[in-house]
Amino acid sequence: TAGRATGARGLRFTPVAPNTDDKVTVPDGYAQSVVIRWGEPILRGAPAFDADKQTAKAQAGQFGYNNDFLSLLPLRGEHGRQVLVANHEYTDEVLMFKGYDPENPTREQVEIAWAAHGLSVVVVQEQHRDGRLTPVTRHPLNRRLTATSEFRLTGPAAGSALLRTSADPTGRTVLGTLNNCAGGTTPWGTTLHGEENFNQYFANGSSATDKRYGIGTGATERKWERFDKRFDAKQEPNESHRFGWVVELDPYDPDSTPRKRTALGRFKHEAAQPRLTADGRPVVYMGDDERFDYFYKFVSSKRMMKGSSRKAREHNLTLLDEGTLYVAKLTGDSPQDIDGTGKLPNDGEFDGSGHWIPLATGDVSHVPGMTAEEVYVFTRLAGDKVGATKMDRPEDVEPSPRTGRVYVALTNNSNRGKPGQPGADEANPRNLNKHGQILELAEHWDDPASDGFAWRLFLVAGDPDDPATYFAGYPKEKVSPISCPDNVAFDPYGNLWISTDGNQLGSHDGLFGVATHGERRGELKQFLTVPTGAETCGPIIQQRRVLVAVQHPGEVDGASAEKPASQWPDGPGRLVRPSVVAVYRKDGRDIGV
Ligand code: FEO
Ligand code: CA
Ligand code: CA
Ligand code: CA
């Protein structure tokens, strides 16, 4: 098979050592360049970035802040060009604005922050001489979507009374998308974007559901509620229900209104990664990134139409509106051996079986005591009721294009096993879990729509010298230390790439590669590290190029625009700027071979 010919060969670069250098460090023989920075103009009429004269109008035409998920899509008919789509998860006002007063943000600062959130679509141009990519400013596909752009709610909960507000009595039109963390790319050429920690934007929460979703009872840190009453839950209790969805964007249609897909449920969506069943129906895997929250999938009832005809494109934009939403329940096969230390069970693996518990299909609820609309809008409560497995913060998820196995990053859980909190189980085997783990899931008969699966832990992260770590059984003296896996991606050869957020081993965060099958399964190697205070996001591994989103560089306690903790990417005296970076081999050959 193709898998045997080109897969399973592992990775052959010299690993980058853990470090705390204020730069992007890449392996010997590799080079890097910034693709695009926060504030670079992408739309017609947008000015060049000027830190001292930033305006909301300028920002709305410029690349947003804190790039997270990235997708690169082909652009037919334009040689050497691709379409880059980026999430802008959140803003760090204290690093963005000199003289920022957190107690008294100005209207202009707040409106700049609204414009710096959301999504960017920007066409990028390959360079002949190396792996560089440069933005094509003013390309007609370039687009910014912000915290005030129009989005449409679709699917079974659209129009529900739970989604209506005084500004939108239809419950179908929302202004903005917020806290877009990771996402996914669909086989029909659209992108998916998870709205994650939306709770932080809403003040004065009071209901039990507000509490379950983490909406605070007082003012918010950014104080947006002073400038738009929709961010005040006391005045607009349903506005927060209109966030926490998966957004679907058609980057090829700059006039399209992006959709929030209610059939995929509402929670702190980290990511949404689709694959197809044998008969062409999409299945989307999704994590809810919170300590003790759940792992989900959505199975569409409709088949994808192939091709790029208008009819096919219109049909495919309905795929994520009809189907069944499920939540995962995992059962270990060695419960007697799990003591919370991370010691391997006597059968040699953290493993077991699982099943998918249906929550709702269209207008039909499968959860006693909840209507279908309630299941979609308050999905966490549905998961609570059916006894789903409480996980260690499910982050990004990625099915292997080679084996069909699904990899789920469980980033950490500092509360596991604390008094009054759930203790370790076989899928989440360490109490006070600082470093996280990666779960490997195999659907029965490799059918993504199956109601059952087998699972085992692929990695139990940490310092390989720590006995409570596991690297798929590979010799631990040959692997790189890793902590807090967050994003996962596959390269064209079937190697898994893992980026981290919050390294607890004294090094900066980074990107790692590892084979998931063959003799080198578990041979984890660190490929790069990021600057001070940054998280490594959005990895895309192409044959000859790696793209990473360096998110929140310089985000260190006490740092500010006047007293930066990082000088990346432009050196002393300049604002630190979240940016996308391309990494490639100096000799032009393939990555990792
Ligand atoms: Fe935004 Fe769960 O990371
Ligand atoms: Ca076991
Ligand atoms: Ca993330
Ligand atoms: Ca994270």
Q: Please report which confidence band the pLDDT of residue 6 belongs to, taking 50, 70 and 90 as the band edges.
A: very low
Taking the CA of residue 501 as reference, the ligand 1 atom at the shortest distance is 3
What would the pLDDT profile of 183-240 be if each residue is shown by its tens digit? Answer: 999 999 999 999 999 999 999 999 999 999 999 999 999 999 999 999 999 999 999 9
Gap between the Cα atoms of 196 and 188, Å rounded: 24
Give the residues across from 551 on adjacent strands. Answer: 535
Gap between the Cα atoms of 517 and 403, Å rounded: 8
What would the pLDDT profile of 90-124 be if each residue is shown by its tens digit? Answer: 999 999 999 999 999 999 999 999 999 999 999 99
Backbone angles phi, psi at 480, to 5 degrees: -85, 145
Q: Please report which confidence band the pLDDT of residue 567 belongs to, taking 50, 70 and 90 as the band edges.
A: very high
Q: Please report which confidence band the pLDDT of residue 593 belongs to, taking 50, 70 and 90 as the band edges.
A: confident
Q: What is the mean pLDDT of residues 140-168?
A: 98
What would the pLDDT profile of 498-525 be if each residue is shown by its tens digit? Answer: 999 999 999 999 999 999 999 999 999 9
Q: What is the mean pLDDT of residues 72-77?
A: 96
Gap between the Cα atoms of 553 and 18, Å rounded: 17
| Helix or strand (DSSP H, E) at 374 | helix 372-377
Nearest ligand (C-alpha, residue 394)? 1
What would the pLDDT profile of 439-476 be if each residue is shown by its tens digit? Answer: 999 999 999 999 999 999 999 999 999 999 999 999 99
Taking the CA of residue 393 as reference, the ligand 1 atom at the shortest distance is 2
Amino acid at 304: M
> Of 204, 196, 212, 230, whose CA–CA distance to 90 is shortest?
196
- Distance of CA 589 from the midpoint of ligand 4 (Å): 32
For residue 311, CA distances in Å to 187, 308, 315, 316, 512 come to 16, 8, 6, 9, 41
The residue with tokens 């652009």 is 75
Nearest ligand (C-alpha, residue 293)? 1
- Cβ proximity of 318 and 281 under 8 Å: no
- In the sheet that holds 495-500, the strands lie side by side as 485-490, 495-500, 510-515, 525-529
Q: Which residues of 240-267 are buried (b: 16+ CB within 10 A; e: fewer)?
A: bbbbbbbbbbbbbeeebebbbbbbbbbb
Nearest ligand (C-alpha, residue 537)? 3
Q: What is the mean pLDDT of residues 39-66?
A: 97
- Distance of CA 246 from the midpoint of ligand 3 (Å): 14
Gap between the Cα atoms of 83 and 106, Å rounded: 35
Taking the CA of residue 395 as reference, the ligand 1 atom at the shortest distance is 2
Residue closest via CA to ligand 1's atom 1 equals 181
pLDDT attached to residue 8: 52
Angle at CA of residue 86, ends 244 and 168, nearest 5°: 40
- Distance of CA 591 from the midpoint of ligand 4 (Å): 26
Nearest ligand (C-alpha, residue 89)? 1
The mean of the pLDDT values for the chain is 96
Q: Please report which confidence band the pLDDT of residue 129 belongs to, taking 50, 70 and 90 as the band edges.
A: confident
With 60 as the cut, is the pLDDT of residue 1 above it?
no
Give the residues across from 535 on adjacent strands. Answer: 551
Which two three-digit tokens encode residue 222? 């950014």
Q: Which residues surround ligand 3, an ion (CB under 5 A)?
A: 181, 486
Taking the CA of residue 396 as reference, the ligand 1 atom at the shortest distance is 2
Amino acid at 183: G
- Distance of CA 401 from the midpoint of ligand 4 (Å): 24
Taking the CA of residue 270 as reference, the ligand 1 atom at the shortest distance is 2
> Of 530, 391, 545, whose CA–CA distance to 20 is shortest?
530
Which residues form the pocket of ligand 1, taking CB atoms under 6 Å from any ligand atom? 89, 181, 196, 270, 289, 395, 486
| Helix or strand (DSSP H, E) at 324 | strand 323-332
Instruction: Kindly state the DSSP code that residue 430 receives in the 8-state scheme.
Output: B
